[in-house]
Amino acid sequence: MRSHYCGHLNKSLVGQPVELCGWVNRRRDLGGLIFVDMRDREGLVQVVVDPDMADVFETANQLRNEFCIRLEGEVRARPDSQINSDMATGEVEVLAKHLEIINRSDVLPLDFNQNNTEEQRLKYRYLDLRRPEMSERIKLRAKASSFVRRFLDEHNFLDIETPVLTKATPEGARDYLVPSRVHKGKFYALPQSPQLFKQLLMMSGFDRYYQIVKCFRDEDLRADRQPEFTQIDIETSFMTADEVRQVTEKMIRDMWQELLDVNLGEFPVMPFSEAIRRFGSDKPDLRNPLELIDVADLVKDVDFKVFAGPANDPKGRVAVLCVPGGAQLTRKQIDGYAEFVSVYGAKGLAWMKVNDREAGVEGVQSPVAKFLSAPVIEALLDRTQAKTGDIILFGADKANVVAEALGALRLKVGLDLELTDLSAWAPLWVIDFPMFEEDDEGHLSAMHHPFTSPLGVTAEELIANPASANSDAYDMVLNGYEVGGGSVRIHDAAMQAAVFETLGIDEEEQQLKFGFLLDALKYGTPPHAGLAFGLDRLVMLLCGTENIRDVIAFPKTTAASCLMTDAPSLANPAALEELAVAIAVDKK
């Protein structure tokens, strides 16, 4: 039905007949002629209808926006004065010879030229996706997955599918469950990741595995989360953490080069402890020049408990951000930041403006200055290398509160004061994560997952001193987003048992949940390591959007609904009966 895409027409085709299929993007009547901007997947082209062609003209007269049409015509060069350099096909136009209306269109419920609410856009997603901005994103996503597959195929990775209907896992608290019709009263779980299956594939000897695969997590959603998300899932045998990082870093670097013509360079590698110390985050945005500066040693003897308390607490921390140009902040703005950090548990935000660095202690303005001696203030100014016009913002609390509060404040202030270079790309690896996280009651949980290998300790050493153990895990961070994470896995049955013991998972529970994995460890398991990238986030970054829904063809809302199809919905009672499932909703 078509000889060319609209968006592909150019001067080399002048004089040639073409057949086009697409949509009326816009129609204008001008000087007795009708101009139609005709659109297809590849772009727009201008069609001209001359009143001399009576039939065609009459049809063209009926055209409205978004009519689906088929056109036969001839490509001709536009006069120099009419060349539109904003348009890829702006040097040519098509003179209509034959025009067919394939399908009419009502007036769209979305206005392509105005801002629609996201709710409207999601309800009429199939129309929203006609907007070139949106369709370009979906096309870029297709290019990205295609690139990944080509790269991994070339590097000897095998694309192997793992099940979607799986057994519930320990992270099970957020599993989507699927009742079984055959085994009434039993359930499948949708996978939060193919973790165990990919480890089993290594035990099977497949050596290098990948899959671009849907994963599912039934959790409270945030702007960059979806109930179903897509993972580039990778696992290798006989490769060290370093080698896994090398090959996956190359994949991302090559991808940015090919799709954006951007060279990401070599990724710095930073231990978790350094990331927390310098940036208050395990996914630091290195486009932002601000760093946390520890000052506990300077304030531990001051007569100001807000500082001296945490400074003398082994679990406390006192740190500052020195913000260039921050002295310009109003009292109201600073109060706003104080409220901002309170969300992270900070009980206030002490600050110190450096109005005149030359003037030393006399040149600072701060509600807390009165609690600090002149030498302490001088020492703070020296430590932070503060300059005239800066502001020093204090965090003093439990170490994790300080890290979270100043880490978040760092990002916010960096954006507000335009210190962050939004045009830059800043990748890094974060490594050497703690093996376990401890909650307030001293219970340990796995920071990554219980199959992650500890780093440099034996099973006995791990059991003796679990809290201080690090894991051989690594995250890839890009512009403050964790885009991928992985680890070397445990391939030794004794070590796996030690980790379960540390986590307080007894043997019965181990057998029930992971019996097959523990069994498998008996039969010559190879050393293996892997990683998973969040494809949605990678594409979000490639597209330069901050809304993950913009890079998913049919996304769900933050309430996990599809506004277009109205899912989830009520189920057929007969179907529920057959599944032996009843709804237990409180009618109140």
Q: How far is the CB of 489 from its own copies (least distance, A)?
A: 13
Q: Which is nearer to its own copies, 30 or 559 (CB)?
A: 559
Nearest by Cα to 191 from 210, 164, 173: 164
Q: How far is the CB of 518 from its own copies (least distance, A)?
A: 12
Nearest by Cα to 224 from 584, 549, 503, 524: 549
Ligand-binding site membership of 8 (annotated) = no
Which alpha helices (H) appear in 155-210, and where do they start and end? 195-203
Ligand-binding site membership of 482 (annotated) = yes
CA–CA distance, 516 with 498 (Å, rounded to integer): 17
Q: Which is nearer to its own copies, 208 or 410 (CB)?
A: 208
Which strand (E) or helix (H) includes residue 520?
A: helix 507-520
Q: Which residue has the tokens 């951007």?
A: 262
Q: Which is nearer to its own copies, 207 or 356 (CB)?
A: 207
Ligand-binding site membership of 171 (annotated) = yes
CA–CA distance, 257 with 252 (Å, rounded to integer): 9
Q: How far is the CB of 260 from its own copies (least distance, A)?
A: 19
Q: Which is nearer to its own copies, 77 or 168 (CB)?
A: 168
DSSP 3-state of 52: coil
CA–CA distance, 284 with 410 (Å, rounded to integer): 10
Q: How far is the CB of 583 from its own copies (least distance, A)?
A: 5
CA–CA distance, 57 with 98 (Å, rounded to integer): 9
CA–CA distance, 92 with 82 (Å, rounded to integer): 9
CA–CA distance, 541 with 106 (Å, rounded to integer): 35
Ligand-binding site membership of 536 (annotated) = yes
Nearest by Cα to 116 from 107, 105, 128, 134: 128
Helix axes 399-416, 331-342, angle to 10 degrees: 140
Taking phi over 0 as left and psi of -120 to 50 as alpha, with beta for the rest, 180 belongs to beta
Task: Please say whether the beta carbons of 126 and 108 come within 8 A.
Answer: no
Q: Which is nearer to its own copies, 278 or 528 (CB)?
A: 528
Ligand-binding site membership of 511 (annotated) = no
Ligand-binding site membership of 104 (annotated) = no
DSSP 3-state of 74: strand
CA–CA distance, 444 with 437 (Å, rounded to integer): 5
Ligand-binding site membership of 535 (annotated) = yes
Residue 182 one-letter amino acid? V
Q: Which is nearer to its own copies, 236 or 479 (CB)?
A: 236
Q: How far is the CB of 232 from its own copies (least distance, A)?
A: 13
Q: How far is the CB of 454 from its own copies (least distance, A)?
A: 17
Ligand-binding site membership of 407 (annotated) = no
Q: Which is nearer to its own copies, 395 or 530 (CB)?
A: 530
Q: How far is the CB of 417 from its own copies (least distance, A)?
A: 38
Which residues line the annotated binding site for L-aspartate? 171, 217, 448, 489
Which residues line the annotated binding site? 171, 217-219, 226, 448, 482, 489, 534-537
Which residues line the annotated binding site for ATP? 217-219, 226, 482, 534-537
